Copies of this chain bind each other. A is one copy, B any other.
Amino acid sequence: MRLTTKGRYAVTAMLDLALHSRQGPVSLADISGRQDISLSYLEQLFAKLRKRELVQSVRGPGGGYQLTREGDAISVAEVVDAVNESVDATLCRGDNDCQHGNECLTHHLWSDLSHQIHDFLSKISLGDLVRRNEVRAVAKRQAIDIKRLNQKQSADLIDIEATL
């Protein structure tokens, strides 16, 4: 399994969605603000997540994204798969032709490891993560951060208006 920041961003964004989807769709702008991921990059990731039907979109004001299934029915492995196209740790992506047509010396090792990682991540659902205390604690901190930021911004705005 390719384990890059790309997949991690996708899981973080999906978890944010799972955490905040109680009251309707969540906009990418909100996720961007809370999780520090660029909006355009999120758009690219969500295009892939939508193709795999892990999320569905609502357009227009008040719109955003929603999980198509319950959090408990979406595994972390699915999310990583959706954005990473290849989930295989082997050089040949499971085709057994890593070395001019034949399998390389360590093909089986990486193949075994791939399955290992996939198993691990497929047994963890977004729902599981939402219920974790560490996750809830971080989410709470982020909510406070955003609130502060908004207060600061509106204060700045008042300052600007005052100087005009």
- A residues neighboring B (CB under 8 Å): 1-3, 5, 8, 11-12, 15-16, 19, 35-36, 76, 89, 91, 99-100, 102-110, 113, 116-117, 120-121, 124, 129, 132, 134-135, 138-139, 141-142
Main secondary structure of the interface of A (DSSP, over half): helix
A69 to chain B, nearest CB (A): 19
Contact of A132 among B91, B100, B108, B142 (CB under 8 A): B108
Bound Cα distance A123, B21 (Å): 41
Contact of A106 among B3, B12, B102, B110 (CB under 8 A): B12
Q: A117-B113, A117-B117, A120-B116 are in contact. Are A105 and B1 (CB under 8 A)?
A: no
